[in-house]
């Protein structure tokens, strides 16, 4: 009986101690998570990105703060709090000399920090919106107004086809959850973001995300579901599903980036000034896309691409040549050329469909003569460009670079829009001097030859 009592006593006491030990461990973990490093720095939303990272790493204190991983993490792409999405192994692979223990701690607290950011944003939105009376359609009614989800593509699904479907999905989503719509736009432009990172920034309603997931599972065909495992389908979180299939169909690789660059550089010319506004909008969109993908184009590449767009617009070439003469050979910058093309595109009259249809009519049919549509922009013949003296509707204006000996040689030769009179070549003829004096000197008070300058001061 004594042995039995001893055994029972030990059996009862040991679990109690084990429970206490486990409870103590849980309390230590909980207290450790609730540290400064598990929350974003105070006022982080007003800080520059690099300062956000530095403040957050400083909050770890001790050896992690002393190690000063900030520059290495920023260089690896962890350059703001929203991008703190990584495992310990990811961090060690990206940052040289990162210690395993430090990586584990930073990765763990990064998850807690992003969750805290999401909760703070949600609370701020609730406080800000609560005093305001609700307006418009919300909740279930807004979902009804949005209607069924845009049908997912089937068959051969290329990047372009998939991107077109995402573009239709965004406005449908915005009707009932602008937070999810904004998150989807950001994920489309930045493939590195996970659902956790997006949730921390956009703070959507969990129920909305589940509804999106259920709608996606209804419309997605086998081509898409092949990339989803059972756990993802059971969880039915819409943004997680979108992240998985976007990684497949909108993957950013070298081949894709090279295609974007080649498309941007190999622009087709606008047919006439009426097409300029649309073509310039597409050009700006392509430039912004390359910037968002981390491959911004140089000033020279941008200008070469833009010059191809406007190469068939003689009005632009005429203005460029005139500016170059006045500014003594200085070329227009990309922004100046873009502004010039935009102005001419805005002033161009819209195309007349009736005029396009006339070419299909019988040419031998009698028809009344009609006056051409008035055009506020003077039309100059396309290249090869004749000198102004040969254009009957233009006044004979001498080329300043041709006539004034103090200016550099005219670089346009026979293609120059202004008159090249052999009798006035580099002899400071009175006609050339009079025109020069009618123009303000671009250097103004900084001109070094004000006493002998050709231009007006």
Model confidence pLDDT, tens digit, residues 179-217? 999 999 999 888 888 899 899 889 999 999 999 999 999
Residue 397 has pLDDT above 60, yes or no: yes
Same domain, 24 and 49: no
- Residues 245 and 157 occupy one common structural domain: yes
Q: How many residues can be counted in the chain?
A: 457
C-alpha span between 252 and 217 (Å, rounded): 25
pLDDT in tens, 335-385: 888 888 888 888 888 765 444 444 444 444 555 555 554 444 444 444 444
Is the pLDDT at 15 greater than 50, yes or no?
A: no
Question: 101: which residues sit within 8 A by CB, 6+ positions away?
Answer: none
Tally of CA atoms within 13 A in the half-sphere of 71 that contains its CB: 4
pLDDT at 210: 94
Tell whether 406 is covered by a domain: yes
Residues 443 and 413 grouped into a single domain: yes
169 closest CA partner among 183, 158, 155: 183
The span from the CA of 103 to the CA of 78, in Å, is: 13
Angle 177-178-183 from CA coordinates, rounded to 5°: 105
Whether residues 144 and 213 share a domain: the answer is yes
The mean pLDDT value of the chain amounts to 76
* Strand extents, DSSP E, 219-267: none
Instruction: Tell me whether residue 255 is in a domain.
Output: no
How does residue 25 score in pLDDT terms, banded at 50, 70 and 90? Answer: very low
Residues 156, 227, single domain; the answer is: yes
Lowest mean pLDDT among 228-237, 241-250, 342-351: 342-351
Task: Give 79's pLDDT tier (boundaries 50, 70, 90).
Answer: confident
Choosing from 95, 129, 163, the residue where a domain stops is: 129
* Mean of pLDDT values over 84-110: 88
Provide the pLDDT for residue 369.
Answer: 53
How many domains, the chain?
A: 5
- Whether residue 366 is contained in a domain is answered as no
pLDDT of residue 453: 81
Start-end of H helices in 195-297: 195-202, 206-219, 222-225, 230-235, 238-249, 254-265, 276-292
CA atoms of 396 and 421, how far apart (whole Å):
10
Clarify whether residues 23 and 42 are in a common domain. no
Of the chain, the percentage scoring pLDDT greater than 70 comes to 76
Whether 320 contacts 353, CB under 8 Å: no
Closest to 279 measured CA to CA, from 289, 269, 292: 269
Q: Are residues 155 and 243 both part of a single domain?
A: yes
Cα–Cα separations (whole angstroms), residue 309 to 209, 258, 272, 274, 344: 43, 20, 10, 13, 13
Q: Indicate yes or no: pTM above 0.85.
A: no
Whole-angstrom CA distances from 64 to 51, 58, 106, 134 are 17, 8, 9, 47
* Judgement on whether residues 61 and 104 belong to the same structural domain of the protein: yes
Model confidence band, residue 394 (pLDDT cutoffs 50, 70, 90): very low
Is there a domain that residue 86 lies in? yes
Q: In the numeric block, which tokens belong to residue 134? A: 């609700």
Question: Of 116 and 48, which is predicted with more confidence?
Answer: 48
**Lowest model confidence (mean pLDDT) among 10-24, 100-114, 254-268, 433-447:** 10-24
Q: Which two tokens stand for residue 41?
A: 């720095």
* Domain boundaries, position 283: 278-350
């Amino acid at each position: 009986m004594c042995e039995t009592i001893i055994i029972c006593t030990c059996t009862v006491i040991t679990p109690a101690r084990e429970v206490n030990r486990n409870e103590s461990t849980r309390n230590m973990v909980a207290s450790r998570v609730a540290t400064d490093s598990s929350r974003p720095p105070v006022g982080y939303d007003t800080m520059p990105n690099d300062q956000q990272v530095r403040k957050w790493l400083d909050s770890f204190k001790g050896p992690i703060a002393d190690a000063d991983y900030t520059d290495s993490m920023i260089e690896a792409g962890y350059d703001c709090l929203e991008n703190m999405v990584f495992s310990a192994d990811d961090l060690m692979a990206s940052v040289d000399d990162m210690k395993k223990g430090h990586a584990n701690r930073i990765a763990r607290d990064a998850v807690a920090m992003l969750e805290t950011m999401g909760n703070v944003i949600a609370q701020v939105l609730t406080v800000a919106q609560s005093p305001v009376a609700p307006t418009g359609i919300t909740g279930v009614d807004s979902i009804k107004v949005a209607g069924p989800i845009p049908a997912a593509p089937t068959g051969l699904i290329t990047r372009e086809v998939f991107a077109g479907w995402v573009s239709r999905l965004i406005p449908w989503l915005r009707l009932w959850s602008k937070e999810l719509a904004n998150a989807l736009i950001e994920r489309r432009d930045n493939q590195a973001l996970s659902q956790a990172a997006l949730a921390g920034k956009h703070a959507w309603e969990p129920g909305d995300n589940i509804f999106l997931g259920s709608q996606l599972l209804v419309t997605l065909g086998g081509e898409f579901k092949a990339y989803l495992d059972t756990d993802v389908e059971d969880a039915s979180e819409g943004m997680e599903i979108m992240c998985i299939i976007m990684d497949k169909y909108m993957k950013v690789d070298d081949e894709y980036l090279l295609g974007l660059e080649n498309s941007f550089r190999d622009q087709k010319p606008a047919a006439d000034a009426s097409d300029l506004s649309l073509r310039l909008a597409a050009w700006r969109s392509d430039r912004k896309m390359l910037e968002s993908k981390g491959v911004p184009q140089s000033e020279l590449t941008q200008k070469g691409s833009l010059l191809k767009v406007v190469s068939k617009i003689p009005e632009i070439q005429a203005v460029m040549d005139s500016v170059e003469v006045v500014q003594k050979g200085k070329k227009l910058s990309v922004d100046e050329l873009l502004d010039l093309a935009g102005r001419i595109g805005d002033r161009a009259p819209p195309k007349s469909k009736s005029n396009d249809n006339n070419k299909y009519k019988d040419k031998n049919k009698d028809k009344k003569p009609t006056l051409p549509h008035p055009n506020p922009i003077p039309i100059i013949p396309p290249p090869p460009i004749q000198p102004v003296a040969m254009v009957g509707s233009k006044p004979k204006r001498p080329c300043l670079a041709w006539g004034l000996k103090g200016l550099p040689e005219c670089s346009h030769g026979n293609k120059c829009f202004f008159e090249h009179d052999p009798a006035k070549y580099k002899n400071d003829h009175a006609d050339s001097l009079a025109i020069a004096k009618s123009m303000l000197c671009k250097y103004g008070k900084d001109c070094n030859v004000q006493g002998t300058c050709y231009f007006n001061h």
